Amino acid sequence: MNKPYGKALLLSFIIIVSLCLGGCGLRDQAREVDQLLVVQSMGLDSGPQGVLLSLSSAGGSTPDSPPVRLQSAGESITTALERVRAGANEEELFCAHIGHLLIGEEAARQGIRPALDYVCRSGDLRLSVPLYILRGNTAREAVLGAGDESFGVCDALDSVDADLRSRGDGHTATASDILRDLERYGSALVCAVSLRPSAEEDRSGETPKRPETVVPEGYAVLRDGVLCGWLDRQQAIGVGFLTGNTGVCELTVTDQAGLPVTLTLTGGSCKLEPRWDEVGQLAALEVNVEAQAVLAESKAGDTELDYLQMMLERSLSERVRQVLQMSKQWRADFLGLEGKLERQAPGKMRAMTPGFAACWPSLPLTVSVSAHLTGTGDVEDWP
Partner 1 sequence: MKSSDRFTLGQLLALCSVMALTPALRLLPGASAALAGRGGWLSVLLALPAAIAYGAFLWHFGQQRREGESLPALWQRAAGERVGAALLMLCGLWLLFYAGFTLRDSAQRLIDTVYPHADRRLFVLPLGLAAAVAGAGEARRLVRCAKMLLPLLVGAIALTLLFALPELHSDNLLPLAGQDALPVLKGALPTLDVAALILVLLFFLSDRLIGEGRYRSVAGRIALLGTLMAALTAAVIGAFGHELSARLTQPYFSLVRNLVFFHSLERIEALLVALWIFSDFLLTAALLLVVRRCLAPLCGEKPWLGAAIGAPALLIGCLLAPEAAAFERLSSRWIPVANAAVCLLLIPGVYVLGKLRKRL
Which residues in this chain contact partner 1 in the complex, by CB under 8 A?
96-97, 120, 123, 126-128, 176, 179-180, 183-184, 336, 339, 342-343, 346-347, 349-351
CA–CA distances in Å: residue 220 to residues 83, 126, 148, 344:
30, 21, 27, 28
Nearer to partner 1, 3 or 350 (CB): 350
Instruction: Give the residue from 173, 185, 285, 156 showing the smallest Cα distance to 236.
Output: 173
State the nearest-atom distance from the C-beta of 124 to partner 1, in Å: 9
Length of the chain: 383
Contact status, residue 376 vs residue 352, Cβ threshold 8 Å: no
Please list the residues that pair with 367 across neighbouring strands: 287
Which one, 9 or 259, has the nearer CB to partner 1?
9
Segments in 212-274 forming alpha helices (H): 233-243
Alpha helices in the chain (DSSP H): 3-21, 77-87, 105-110, 113-121, 139-145, 153-165, 175-185, 233-243, 305-329, 337-344, 346-351, 356-359
Q: Which is nearer to partner 1, 246 or 317 (CB)?
A: 246
| Least CB distance to partner 1 at residue 89 (A) | 22
Phi, psi (5° rounding) for residue 57?
Answer: -95, 170
Minimal distance, residue 289 CB to partner 1, in Å: 20
Angstrom CA distances, 364 to 244, 271, 314, 330, 360, stand at 22, 16, 20, 16, 9
Least distance from partner 1 to the Cβ atom of residue 262, Å: 33
Closer Cβ to partner 1, 184 or 275, answer by number? 184
The rounded distance, in Å, linking the Cα atoms of 349 and 176 is 25
Nearer to partner 1, 177 or 212 (CB): 177
Which of 147/336 has CB closer to partner 1?
336
**Smallest separation (angstroms) from partner 1 to the CB of 347:** 5
SS3 call for 109: helix
Kindly tell me which of 184 and 271 has the beta carbon lying closer to partner 1: 184
CB of 343 to partner 1, least distance (A): 5
Please state, in angstroms and rounded to a whole number, the distance separating the CA atoms of residues 28 and 24: 8
Residue 10 CB, shortest distance to partner 1, in Å, is 10
Residue nearer to partner 1 on the CB measure, 49 or 128: 128
In the complex, the smallest distance separating the C-beta of residue 196 from partner 1, rounded to whole angstroms, is: 29
Neighbours of 196 (CB within 10 A): 13
